[in-house]
A and B are shown apart, each in its own frame.
Chain A
Amino acid sequence: MTALLIRRLVRVVVVCVGVSLVTFLILQVSGDPVSLIMPEAPEADRAVLRKALGLDQPLAVQFVRFVASSVRGDFGQSFFHREPAAKLVLERMPTTLTLTLLAMVLATAVALPVGIVSAVRRNSALDHVATVTVFLGQSMPAFLTGIMLILLFGVYWRVLPVSGWATWTSAVLPTITLGTFSAPLLLRIVRSSMLEVINLDYVRTARAKGVTEWLVICRHALRNAALPLVTVAGLQFGLLLGGAVITESVFAVPGVGRLIVGAIRQLDFPVVQAGVFMLAMIVVAVNFAVDLLYIFLNPQIRLR
């Protein structure tokens, strides 16, 4: 188990370096950052700035510098706001994380029970409705969900705010939007992993012993179905953060996603880099945690 842990740890470090490399590349492929910062300056001034930013160094040196400063959380000054890019991102991070977590809770709260019942009562009316909903949900662009909710609750019934993040009521529609974005896949996984275990011998044995159906499902089947679920929940997190970008744009939520989209439009690359890097790091951290959880939850690995 220790060997496995070490392997996982090494992988995390390698992935982090890869994430830095890709983030570093964002600026490189964009052409000349100097002409973005001062488009009309004379060449002499450009050379000074280029030197000040270290852009006259070889790429490898620039990359090492980038990694060194990004580890310290330094992504340089935003081209637009006269503030460090990292600070801008960090200020908005709580909003994005709150939205993502709320959505995840909502998605799980819906997908878990419905998925279980759907698997246990296979081919029942509920199962069919659930399957259709999953298909619809997986084909639904997140922004369409958002706009339909705005139409319904904001324009037609006028009961909920449709933009901003001021009161708890303004979190309702974004949470539902992002929740619907991730619930279908989750539901599908719950259902299929439950179906895989529900007809196994040990579940039948439990039934034969006279264990009540409820206990059979929760204690015997669900615990074994939970392993793939944990992995998927980790992978979902990256997807959710991507969905959060769209959701924040639809509802004008002042989060990291909206910041990045705005920065992209203004070609404010330090902010883009800081935002992409930090969100990717969160995904890496979550997936590492999931890996650990998986190791500890899985007796086949834990007891070896």
Chain B
Amino acid sequence: MAVGTLPRPDLVDTRRATGAREGSRAWRKLVRNPSALAGTLILLVVIGAAVAAPHVAPHDPARQSLVRRFTPPVWEKGGNPAYPLGTDQVGRDILSRLIHGARISLAVGVAAVVVSLLVGVSLGLLSGFVGGRIDTVIMTVVDVTLSFPGLLLALAFVAALGPSVLTIILVLGLTGWERYARVVRAEVLALREKDFVEAARAMGIGTPRILCRHLLPNTFSSIIVLSTLQVAQAILQESALSFLGVGSGSAYPTWGQMTALGRDFVTVAWWLPTFPGLAILLTVLSINLVGDRLRDALDPRAT
């Protein structure tokens, strides 16, 4: 029987099915862990707040009122239930500003990672598969990127290009791609001489297709973990940039900028820098918890 000449749809189907099963197993592992579950829930709340900000925020985040300024949180003496987390130095509602601030943090975090992924994965594939001089050049660029204090580089370029959300996304994305390039390159190097790649080539499949369909899927679990953790990192970096005064450049509230402005009033109103700072901490912590648990769940060695 000429089995060899037949297409083997059964093989393809099996692989897809295993993939789905692995995915749901990882998901079950994730939610069974209490800290990861808490992280997931907090994240959902933050994402919900960001998406529905204009609808869930109790007040207009930009509305000022000098009569109401420095209202303490509701549980302190002089607190007002209409402003549960108090108001800032010009009387804006802190809770509403926090809810709106979630937008920029999350958008920048995710978008920066997408940029890093695009650059890192393609350069990693190229570096590992083509090798030779291209590999040397790309790995040198990685070395250069690693020797800059990342925050400083981002700071300088955001300032030079003019502060805007897009600049921050690009700069954070272009300073964080090297981890993907390394992982993908290592994986490609380890796999490119394997039999299944040889077989694919013998079947006349072109290089781009081999790279994308046969080699890349092997790096998915590492990439998912790395990018989750990078979202957390990018949010921290964005908040640091805003804190240092080279943020989005707009009047739209961001957590870092709120913390920075609040720092000047810390002696009279502790809640000004504390709540936005805690919002960053909580969000980043949740992402880290989920990312760490994902790492365990997706690592086939740790069962």
Residues of A participating in the B interface, judged by any CB pair closer than 8 Å: 11, 14-15, 18-19, 22, 26-27, 29-30, 135-136, 138-144, 147-148, 150-151, 154-155, 235, 238-239, 241-243, 245-246, 249-250, 257, 260-261, 264-265, 267, 269, 272-273, 275-276, 279-280, 283-284, 287
Contacts and interface: CB of A to CB of B under 8 A. Distances in A.
A31 to B, nearest CB: 8
Most buried by A among B147, B243, B245, B274: B147
28 contacts: A14-B140, A18-B140, A19-B144, A22-B148, A22-B153, A26-B160, A29-B157, A30-B160, A136-B285, A139-B285, A142-B240, A143-B259, A143-B263, A144-B278, A144-B281, A147-B277, A151-B270, A155-B267, A241-B149, A243-B151, A245-B149, A246-B244, A264-B155, A265-B246, A269-B160, A280-B148, A284-B147, A287-B146
A144 B156 contact: no
B232 interface: yes
A14 B280 CA distance: 38
B284 interface: yes
B4 to A, nearest CB: 45
B236 interface: yes
Contacts of A245: 149, 151-152, 155, 244
Given A136-B285, A141-B243, A250-B263, A287 B157 contact: no
A29 B256 CA distance: 25
A93 B197 CA distance: 53
B143 to A, nearest CB: 5
Contact of B244 (A136, A139, A261): A261
Contacts of A272: 156, 159-160
The 3 closest A-B pairs by CB, nearest first: A18-B144, A242-B151, A144-B277
A3 B149 CA distance: 29
Nearest to A132: B35
Contact of A155 (B155, B259, B270): B270
Given A29-B161, A141-B236, A246-B151, A238 B146 contact: yes
B273 A283 contact: no
B239 A141 contact: yes
Given A141-B281, A272-B159, A15 B149 contact: no
Most buried by A among B143, B144, B262, B273: B144
A243 to B, nearest CB: 8
Given A18-B144, A19-B147, 18 more contacts: A15-B140, A18-B143, A22-B153, A26-B156, A141-B256, A147-B263, A148-B277, A155-B270, A235-B146, A238-B146, A238-B148, A242-B152, A243-B151, A245-B244, A261-B155, A276-B152, A280-B152, A283-B149
Most buried by B among A139, A242, A243: A139
Interface in B225-262: 232, 236, 239-240, 243-246, 256, 259-260, 262
B140 to A, nearest CB: 5
A97 to B, nearest CB: 13
A280 B236 CA distance: 21
Contacts of A260: 152, 155-156
B288 interface: yes
Contacts of A267: 159
Contacts of B284: 139, 141
Contacts of B90: none
A242 B147 contact: no
Given A141-B240, A261-B245, A279-B152, A147 B259 contact: yes
Contacts of A246: 151, 240, 243-244
Contact of B277 (A29, A136, A141, A242): A141
A30 B161 contact: yes
Interface string B116-152: 0000000000000000000000001101101111111
A155 B266 contact: yes
